[in-house]
Structure 1
Amino acid sequence: MTTMRAIGLMSGTSMDGIDIAALETDGETVTTRGPTRFAPYEAAFRRRLEAALETAKSIVDRRDRPGDLADLEREITRRHVQAVRDFLAAVGEEWRSPSVVGFHGQTVLHRPGLGVTVQLGDGALLADELAVPVVHDMRANDMLRGGQGAPLVPAYHAALARSLPDAFVAQLPMVFVNIGGISNITYVPRDGDPIAFDTGPGNTLIDQWVSREAGVPFDAGGAIASEGSVVRSVVARYLDNAFFAKEGPKSLDRNDFNLDPAEGLELADGSRTLAAVSAEAILKSVEHLPEMPKLWIVCGGGRKNARIVDDLRAGAERMRASVAVAEDAGLDGDATEAEAWAFLAARSLRGLPLTFPTTTGCKEPATGGVLNKPKGAR
């Protein structure tokens, strides 16, 4: 099958900026992982996005844009336009004419129980401005078919796992862990479809905690947590949430967990305890897997928090498994989700499934995405 060069764009639940990645793929295999870039949001714009989460709570019809959400959607899109233009200006000639762009947008509401998911981003505007076909709105079709609409990265994780060096492929079954605002895992078996679900809060509670208590956007490297101790009673309160007992597929909204159980903790103890919550929620996911994984590969911003990774390693060792951060396997842990959106755009163009009953709970494997062609294009 002919390969194409695709660009993926991801602005995740951490709301810190836009990840951009290029990929050569036919939508089934990963031929070449190309250049990547990050376009950060300034603090004032992050605050606008955080405010949008509150505004979006009133949405019933996913097409609604109450308050200033319509203006914010245009602003988000234009920021993506500029981010891609800057990216294309910086990369080599071979990557400057992509066949398609996969556009995630910014999730402001995800309520799978109500069949509602909202990602702000105008795919048609992005296509017109870039003069490149754009695939966006990749979650909706899955939800129409009974799925959770998340996570969508597992199709890419499964392809990526089989593109790794032989020493890693030999460790199937393996689990890819993505620690963003919300953490999710993909279990890649030796044969068959991947299994995936959200595992719990990743960075979001830690970010909220240190922002409120210390006025910083995140705990860089887990430095604040390194000064504190785990308060086990608080960890237990978080893990007692009914979400963890539910079988997958299952997914979370950024607002499904809050800081209430951590109230009253000192800054460092709170950060350290919330790091433990993130790690232990991920490890708890083995209760819902068919076989104990041999290897956990950690991607996303949370892999940079040394306390989360240390806790994951300690827990994996008790299960006779090992933990590798993405770079140990030759991957770019910051770009995996953006790469996934490039991969999913290619799959969408070919009508291949983006989701599976084992990843989102859809009734049957489902393709998805809306193709936006630039004005004047056939």
Structure 2
Amino acid sequence: MKTMMTALGLMSGTSMDGIDAALIETDGQGSVEMGPSAELAYSDEERTLLRRALADAVSMTRRGERPGSLVAAERLITRKHADVVSDFLKEHDLSPDDIDVIGFHGQTVLHRPHQRLTVQIGDGQALADSLGIEVVYDMRAADVAEGGHGAPLVPAYHQALVQAAKLAGSVAVLNLGGVGNVSYVAEGRDPIAFDTGPANALIDDLMMERTGIALDQDGRQALAGKVDQGVLDQLMTHAYFSEKPPKSLDRNTFSRDAVAGLSTPDAVATLAAFTARSVAAARQWLPAEPVLWIVCGGGARNPAILNFLRAETGVPVRTADEFGWSASMMEAQAFAYLAVRSLKGLPLTFPSSTGAPKALTGGILAVPGKKRASA
């Protein structure tokens, strides 16, 4: 097997805004060279289907079930990811032979690790067959089957980036997608990681409900609003914040009912502050105070959330872009990186990040034209 491999990572996050694709070259360890990236937004109709699939997934008790609209949603996810890759190859004058492996996350519709149940829809074998490229998919399942939380999965990649940048001291890499997760990176230890609380999901859902647009563009609503401290205090009473890691969240763990009586700007400001306050509360589970927070994901584009984070942590808060990384493509790059690690039999998860009993590799390899792998 090659030392350096060309991998294309595909990510459709819990915010369900679209698909990110990012190309990297990596050895699956400390060497990462970032290449071009692309994104494809879901249409309003496609988002509606995915939201129906989330609602239908609540009844699932087995990974292979596909009740209600989940069949149609899985076909959509597979087709849209194939479209993204095909367009990406054409745009960058690449052929399938130029890509060693695709890391395919799929779309999470259910995550209940305490029941050893996590479901990411998307047909990895069909994707490999349609593209003629090997695909590694279903990367959370092995960890959950062994009693881990299956999340966060990105810490191995965060650690590689922090070490390559030679950043001194303890560094927290904070991903703010639909939910928030932190990777605590310090020399001489495996990364510590867990979900911190809500990130963009509550804001996106509220904005969709009230304005028909599923995001607070550039934090405009939050910047115009006022935080309701009483409501914020109420939100912070959720039992999740007193749980010790390892721990992880389903997208719908938290409710936005507490802000129902607030104006849209005040509601969004309060939810943005909730994201930051929950991150600050997560510090109690870290071995030492991070000297630096590096933010990636959609939250890195929200100045209101960044301002709240700076106020809550009292230390420098910077975006991944400031380090020459990619705040928006971090997760897609990470799944490319994890696909290479999977092919090489290297760990994707660690006891300190998911609570699994040992460091575990994972993922299912789909080879074009080969017999379908069982989940």
TM-score (norm 2): 0.96
- Could you report, residue by residue, the CA deviation over 1:73-125 in whole angstroms, capped at 9, with x for unpaired residues? 12210110010010111125599711000000000000111111110100000
- Establish whether residue 340 from structure 1 lines up as the match of residue 340 from structure 2: no
Provide the rounded CA distance (Å) in 2 between the counterparts of 1:368 and 1:215: 38
Which residue does the alignment assign to 1:119?
120
Which residue does the alignment assign to 2:23?
22
Deviates more, 1:22-31 or 1:191-200: 22-31
Provide the rounded CA distance (Å) in 1 between the counterparts of 2:31 and 2:218: 30
- Could you report, residue by residue, the CA deviation over 1:42-93 in whole angstroms, capped at 9, with x for unpaired residues? 1110011011111001110111111231222122101100100101111255
Provide the rounded CA distance (Å) in 2 between the counterparts of 1:95 and 1:72: 26
Q: List aligned pairs for 1:173-188, cutoff 5 A.
A: 173-188=170-185
The one of 194, 198, 204 aligned to 1:197: 194
Which residue does the alignment assign to 2:102?
101
The one of 297, 301, 305 aligned to 1:304: 301
Contact conserved, 2:9 with 2:336, CA < 8 A, in 1?
yes
Instruction: Report how far residue 316 of structure 1 moved.
Output: 2.4
Q: List aligned pairs for 1:201-350, cutoff 5 A.
A: 201-317=198-314, 321-350=315-344
Instruction: Report how far residue 215 of structure 1 moved.
Output: 2.2
Contact conserved, 2:97 with 2:133, CA < 8 A, in 1?
no
Q: List aligned pairs for 1:123-134, cutoff 5 A.
A: 123-134=124-135
Provide the rounded CA distance (Å) in 1 between the counterparts of 2:181 and 2:73: 27
Identity %: 47
Provide the rounded CA distance (Å) in 2 between the counterparts of 1:200 and 1:250: 10
TM-score (norm 1): 0.95
Provide the rounded CA distance (Å) in 1 between the counterparts of 2:286 and 2:164: 23
Contact conserved, 1:5 with 1:95, CA < 8 A, in 2?
no
After TM superposition, the runs of 4+ consecutive aligned structure 1 residues lying more than 4 A away are: 92-96
- Cα distance change of structure 1 residues 314 and 140 upon mapping to structure 2, 3 Å threshold: same
Please report the RMSD computed on the Cα atoms of aligned residues, expressed in angstroms: 1.4
- Aligned residues, how many? 370
Unaligned runs of 5+ in 2: none
- Establish whether residue 355 from structure 1 lines up as the match of residue 355 from structure 2: no
Contact conserved, 1:177 with 1:185, CA < 8 A, in 2?
yes
Provide the rounded CA distance (Å) in 2 between the counterparts of 1:31 and 1:215: 39
Contact conserved, 1:9 with 1:104, CA < 8 A, in 2?
yes
- Cα distance change of structure 1 residues 376 and 180 upon mapping to structure 2, 3 Å threshold: closer
Provide the rounded CA distance (Å) in 2 between the counterparts of 1:249 and 1:160: 22
